[in-house]
Amino acid sequence: MISLYRPGNSPLHRLPAGPKLLVVMAAALGISLTPPSPALLAGAAVAVTGAYLLAGLGAAEPARQAWRLRWLVLVVAVSQVFFLPALTVVANVVRVVVVILLANLITLTTPTGLLVDAIERALTPLRPLGVNPSRVALMLSMTITTIPVIAGFAAQIREAQRARGVPVAPLAFAVPLLIMTMKHADDLADALTARGID
């Protein structure tokens, strides 16, 4: 499980996962639909920073998160700068950054297990349509647990290649990674079957 979660006891930590997800989804929608007015977007940025402060994460945290997004910002900005007025480009960039910061705020203040539970509850009304909420939740949580395992495979392959002096070669990297991942998936399936899930 990737543990981006920072334990804490702020109002944002105590807010149940379901409502928190809903609020953030509504806020993200709102920000995406805001007209490109400098005042409104600056307000949104300030509000998000305020939320980080409320969560006890400090004012530097949103800045750090935004800095990590610099390449995404560059791609978004460059792809629009020739076609759109400067104000719109800035507005779009701010929107993207603010929405991502909001989403990160959920991960930082909610244990993943609770998020998965909230999603499972949200899917319960879909049961008559043939959706099995607990299976979807299991799939989600297994996806999340598998990410560090596969990242571990990737590191292992890179180390083995570096030890043999292999330069960065996408194919020589992707093929063993794919094979290890598929082998892991096979073994995981056996383990799931052995524990009573078909």
Partner 1 sequence: MTASLTIAGLHFAYPDGREVLHGVDLTVGDGERVALLGPNGAGKTTLVLHLNGILHAGSGSGAGTVDVAGLTVDPGDRARLAEIRRRVGIVFQDPDDQLFMPTVAEDVAFGPANLGLRGAELRERVDEALAAVDMAAHRDQVPHHLSFGQRRRVAVATVLAMRPEILVLDEPSSNLDPASRRELAEILRTLPVTVLMVTHDLPYALELCPRAVILDGGRIAADGKTVDLLSDPELMRGHRLELPFGFDPAFAAAQLRST
Q: From the list 33, 39, 168, 194, which residue makes contact with partner 1 (rule: CB under 8 A)?
A: 194
Nearer to partner 1, 44 or 116 (CB): 116
Contacting partner 1 within 130-149 (CB under 8 A): 141-142, 144-146, 148-149
For 62, the token pair is 């949103």
Min separation Cβ 192 and partner 1, Å: 8
Q: Does 190 bind partner 1 (CB under 8 A)?
A: yes
Is the CB of residue 48 less than 8 Å from the CB of residue 98? yes
Q: Does 159 bind partner 1 (CB under 8 A)?
A: no
For 126, the token pair is 């879909």
| HEC profile of 123-174 | HHHHHHHCCCHHHHHHHHHHHHHHHHHHHHHHHHHHHHHHHCCCCCCHHHHH
Nearer to partner 1, 65 or 141 (CB): 141
Contacting partner 1 within 111-130 (CB under 8 A): 111-113, 116
The 8-class DSSP code of residue 82 comes to: T
Is the CB of residue 46 less than 8 Å from the CB of residue 59? no
Min separation Cβ 142 and partner 1, Å: 5
Q: Does 4 bind partner 1 (CB under 8 A)?
A: no
